């Protein structure tokens, strides 16, 4: 009996030591080092700094133009401004940390910062889709129900839609991060340049069944949202066949949304790849800035005013 108790006690001690060892690994994670980072880190740093500056410049400028120009205080442009703010929000979670790692050649991140980065990156991606969904609804009402547009898209309804664009991703990701943080990791290396929730879950030595189920629900919601947006634009295309004016409105105001959706979906095909943090934030302000007539006109006007000063 004593022998059995000693054996059980020994096993318990081994388990406790194993868990304590894992807990020490849980304090920090190591991220993937870019290819030939030591040789080309200054080239990488220059390129990514340029990208980040361009993303900030284009999105901030477009947001400022929309905020300052009263003629652009319409739902469509307000939602566009929200898209720009979201692009700034999402990229800020990645670029400063990555640029710091390149300079100091240190690809280590505390666990709480890793969880925060994953939260921001996922909410950024989801908010991108919810904003495009809201923009699709706005264009559907504007083209298919023009007489009811101002009654349906008033300040109150726009505020509710903007709130949903952020609240839904935040609630979904709060639960996802909570479920991943309750897991004890066996390893501490993430094979990516940034933290994402699925990579954190894969480090665990425990059962991830609950996380997998929740992840499946998340992916299903994402595909459902894409289908809803695409169906909305298909209905718009069908509705615009009978009217030249409708086709003109669709071409001027809806095509940029479709391009942004396709661009975002192509970037998303490699689940949360680095392209998600480069292509959409850089392309969105360019697409909308050059395609939407009113925005283009106000941007050129701001350039002229700056030159005069």
- CATH of residue 287's domain is 1.20.1070.10
Instruction: Decide if pLDDT at 11 tops 80.
Output: no
Arithmetic mean of pLDDT, 51-68 = 92
Instruction: Decide if pLDDT at 3 tops 80.
Output: no
Task: Tell me which of 269 and 76 has the higher pLDDT.
Answer: 76
Instruction: Decide if pLDDT at 285 tops 70.
Output: yes
Instruction: Give pTM, 2 decimals.
Output: 0.82
CA distances (Å), 194 to each of 51, 171, 233, in order? Answer: 16, 22, 34
Arithmetic mean of pLDDT, 228-256 = 75
Instruction: Decide if pLDDT at 228 tops 50.
Output: yes
pLDDT of residue 241: 72
Does residue 267 lie within any of the structural domains? yes
Instruction: Decide if pLDDT at 48 tops 90.
Output: yes
Q: Which structure tokens are listed for 53?
A: 């500056």
pLDDT of residue 60: 93
Percentage of residues in the chain with pLDDT exceeding 70?
82
Does residue 12 lie within any of the structural domains? no
Instruction: Decide if pLDDT at 18 tops 50.
Output: no
pLDDT of residue 55: 95
pLDDT of residue 14: 43
Parent domain of 210: 22-308
In which band, very low, low, confident or very high, does the pLDDT at 10 lie, cut at 50, 70 and 90? low
Does residue 7 lie within any of the structural domains? no
In which band, very low, low, confident or very high, does the pLDDT at 308 lie, cut at 50, 70 and 90? low
Does residue 167 lie within any of the structural domains? yes
Does residue 13 lie within any of the structural domains? no
pLDDT of residue 252: 67
Among 89-98, 143-152, 237-246, the range scoring the smallest mean pLDDT is 237-246
Among 14-18, 38-42, 101-105, the range scoring the smallest mean pLDDT is 14-18
In which band, very low, low, confident or very high, does the pLDDT at 5 lie, cut at 50, 70 and 90? low
pLDDT of residue 142: 85
Considering the chain, what is the average pLDDT of its residues? 82
Instruction: Decide if pLDDT at 4 tops 60.
Output: no
In which band, very low, low, confident or very high, does the pLDDT at 270 lie, cut at 50, 70 and 90? low
Does residue 120 lie within any of the structural domains? yes
Kindly report, residue by residue over 140-177, the tens digit of the pLDDT: 888 888 888 889 999 999 999 999 999 999 999 999 98
Does residue 11 lie within any of the structural domains? no
Arithmetic mean of pLDDT, 231-257 = 73
pLDDT of residue 221: 83
Among 135-139, 157-161, 228-232, the range scoring the smallest mean pLDDT is 228-232
**Strands 189-190 vs 28-31: parallel, antiparallel or unpaired:** parallel
Does residue 224 lie within any of the structural domains? yes
The DSSP result for the chain, as a single string, is -HHHHHHHHHHHHHHHHHHHHHHHHTTEEEEPPPTTHHHHHHHHHHHHHHHHHHHHHHHHHHHHHHHH-GGG-SHHHHHHHHHHHHHHHHHHTTHHHHHHHHHHT--EEEHHHHHHHHHHHHHHHHHHHHHHHHHHHHHHHHHH-GGGHHHHS-HHHHHHHHHHHHHHHHHHHHHHHHHHHTSPBS--EESSSS--HHHHHHTBSS--HHHHHHHHHHHHHHHHHHHHHHHHHHHHHHHHTT-HHHHHHIIIIIHHHHHHHHHHHHHHSSTT-GGGGTHHHHHHHHHHHHHSHHHHHHHHHHHHHHHH-
Which residue has 């505390």 as its token pair? 110
How many independent structural domains does the chain possess? 1
């Amino acid at each position: 009996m004593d022998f059995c108790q000693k054996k059980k006690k020994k096993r318990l001690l081994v388990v406790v030591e194993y868990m304590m060892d894992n807990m020490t690994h849980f304090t920090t994670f190591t991220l993937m080092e870019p290819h030939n980072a030591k040789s080309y880190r200054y080239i990488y740093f220059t390129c990514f700094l340029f990208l980040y500056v361009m993303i900030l410049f284009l999105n901030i400028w477009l947001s400022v133009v929309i905020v300052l120009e009263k003629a652009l205080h319409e739902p469509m442009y307000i939602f566009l401004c929200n898209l720009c703010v979201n692009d700034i929000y999402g990229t800020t979670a990645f670029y400063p940390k990555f640029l710091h790692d390149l300079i100091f050649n240190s690809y280590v991140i505390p666990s709480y910062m890793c969880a925060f980065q994953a939260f921001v990156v996922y909410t950024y991606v989801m908010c991108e889709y919810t904003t495009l969904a809201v923009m699709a609804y706005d264009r559907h009402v504007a083209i298919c129900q023009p007489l009811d547009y101002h009654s349906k898209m008033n300040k109150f309804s726009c505020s509710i839609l903007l709130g949903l664009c952020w609240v839904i991703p935040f609630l979904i990701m709060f639960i996802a991060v909570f479920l991943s943080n309750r897991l004890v990791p066996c390893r501490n290396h993430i094979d990516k340049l940034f933290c994402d929730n699925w990579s954190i879950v894969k480090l665990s030595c425990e059962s991830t069944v609950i996380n997998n189920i929740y992840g499946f629900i998340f992916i299903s919601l994402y595909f459902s949202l894409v289908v809803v947006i695409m169906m909305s634009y298909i209905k718009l295309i069908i509705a615009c066949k009978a009217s030249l004016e409708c086709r003109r409105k669709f071409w001027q105001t809806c095509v940029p949304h479709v391009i942004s959706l396709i661009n975002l979906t192509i970037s998303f095909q490699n689940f949360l790849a680095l392209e998600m943090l480069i292509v959409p934030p850089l392309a969105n302000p360019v697409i909308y800035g050059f395609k939407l007539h009113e925005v283009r006109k106000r941007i050129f006007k701001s350039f002229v005013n700056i030159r005069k000063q």
